[in-house]
Amino acid sequence: MISCRVIITKTMLKVVLAVLLTGTITLLFLSYSSEYFLYQSLQEEDDAEFMRRFDESVEPFLNGTNDLSLEVFDWWKALQPIEEQTLDSYQTVVESLLKTFPTISKRPERWRKCAVVGNSPNLKGSHYGRLIDSHDMVMRMNQGQIKSYEEDVGTKTTHRLMYPESAQNLDDNTHLVLTPYKIMDLVWLQKAFTTGYVGTIRNLAPYKIQANKNLVMVINPGFIAYVYHTWMGKREHKYPSTGFLAVILALHTCEEVSVFGFGADSDGNWTHYWEKKKYKNLGTGLHYGKLEYFMIEQLAAREKIYFFKKSSPITKDLPM
Ligand code: C5P
């Protein structure tokens, strides 16, 4: 009797294991094949179809005239739901921001040759510094370092994209470009230039920031939504990284775009060129790194941008 029960239990265990295994394999297969078809279909689009994503009517920068629809606002506020956010409170914050930074409402010039510099370790040993510095506009982001890396990343920065948790002080000639992921980011910007910021993100964001107040720019949350919906095909639970936003921003504001320093390490982590790997399973965070990289590759394949992928010696063919 006892041995019969043992046999039944063992058989049940085997069945459960077999079901679990089959389920896992099926899920893996489905997710792999849906990814495969996604990339395949993107690749098969002709240039006109691919570039239909480009919508010139979307304002990249917040300037006081770009009202958000409730739908876009609801999407944006769900990115980092750490606070009570309403469309009214957003509008109030924007109005007061425009008073502190009147130059925000000025339409920025169009740049000729732009370099977008991401923070990938593939910049190490690249000797791209001189090439990067030859651009009229050099966009860097977050904590991207320069000192001790000049040979590979250059020295010039005309624009630095950042959010409060990644902020750093800037010199007087660099544009601070805020990428707001929540209303609190806008509040932080205003306070960090005036009274000092004390609030929810205080332990991650600086109390004060040094930068030229007249060169402050703010990405329009509607532009972030556009990049997500149009360029990333609404991949759920993810939103565009600062770097991908910068690439599409450059596409909208520059005549010629060169992209440097993008690409995860061999384990799929977004590590940085100035750091030793900190976390083993960092991945690409809340961003769909693989898709973003693929879209950048597609833009390059369709000759909309230059993409400097890996460290390679500079040749005469590079657009100096
Ligand atoms: O890590 P952080 O967001 O500061 O890096 C800036 C941008 O550079 C990222 O948003 C991402 O688009 C890009 N990046 C990358 N590969 C890495 C690190 C960063 O493509 N290894």
Residue with more model confidence, 129 or 12: 129
> pLDDT value at position 7?
66
Question: Is 239 labeled as catalytic in the residue annotation?
Answer: yes
> pLDDT value at position 315?
41
> pLDDT value at position 6?
62
What angle, rounded to 10 degrees, do the helices at 289-301 and 2-44 form?
Answer: 30
Q: Read off the pLDDT of residues 288-309 as tens digits, 9 standing for 90 and up.
A: 899 999 999 999 999 999 999 8
d(CA 20, CA 6): 21
Looking at every residue in the chain, the average pLDDT score rounds to 90
Q: How far is the CA of 236 from the centre of ligand 1 (A)?
A: 20
Q: What type of residue sits at position 237? A: H
Cβ neighbors of 50 (< 8 A, separation 6 or more) are: 42, 298, 302
Q: How far is the CA of 36 from the centre of ligand 1 (A)?
A: 24
Whether the per-residue pLDDT at 282 is higher than 80: the answer is no
Residues of the chain above pLDDT 70, percent: 91
Q: How far is the CA of 77 from the centre of ligand 1 (A)?
A: 23
Looking at the CA of residue 269, tell me the nearest atom of ligand 1.
21
> pLDDT value at position 314?
43
Is the CB–ligand 1 distance for residue 122 below 6 Å?
A: no
Nearest to 300 by CA among 270, 265, 263, 257: 257
List 226, 228, 239, 288, catalytic entry = 239
Q: Read off the pLDDT of residues 161-191 as tens digits, 9 standing for 90 and up.
A: 999 999 999 999 999 999 999 999 999 999 9
Q: How far is the CA of 14 from the centre of ligand 1 (A)?
A: 45
Q: Domain 57-308 - what CATH class?
A: alpha beta
Cβ neighbors of 171 (< 8 A, separation 6 or more) are: none
d(CA 211, CA 300): 33
> pLDDT value at position 36?
81
CB of 247 closer than 8 Å to CB of 287? no
Is the CB–ligand 1 distance for residue 120 below 6 Å?
A: yes
Q: Read off the pLDDT of residues 10-57 as tens digits, 9 standing for 90 and up.
A: 888 888 888 888 777 777 766 666 788 889 999 999 999 999 999 999
Domain ranges of the chain: 1-53, 57-308
CB of 159 closer than 8 Å to CB of 178? no
Question: Any idea which residue has 């990339």 for tokens?
Answer: 39
Ligand 1 pocket mutation pick from 145, 239, 241 by most atoms within 8 angstroms of CB: 241
Question: Is 226 labeled as catalytic in the residue annotation?
Answer: no
Nearest to 285 by CA among 270, 272, 275: 270
Is the CB–ligand 1 distance for residue 264 below 6 Å?
A: yes
Is the CB–ligand 1 distance for residue 271 below 6 Å?
A: yes
Whether the per-residue pLDDT at 145 is higher than 80: the answer is yes
Is the CB–ligand 1 distance for residue 283 below 6 Å?
A: no
Is the CB–ligand 1 distance for residue 242 below 6 Å?
A: yes
Q: Read off the pTM.
A: 0.88
Q: How far is the CA of 271 from the centre of ligand 1 (A)?
A: 8
Q: Could you tell me how many residues make up the chain?
A: 320
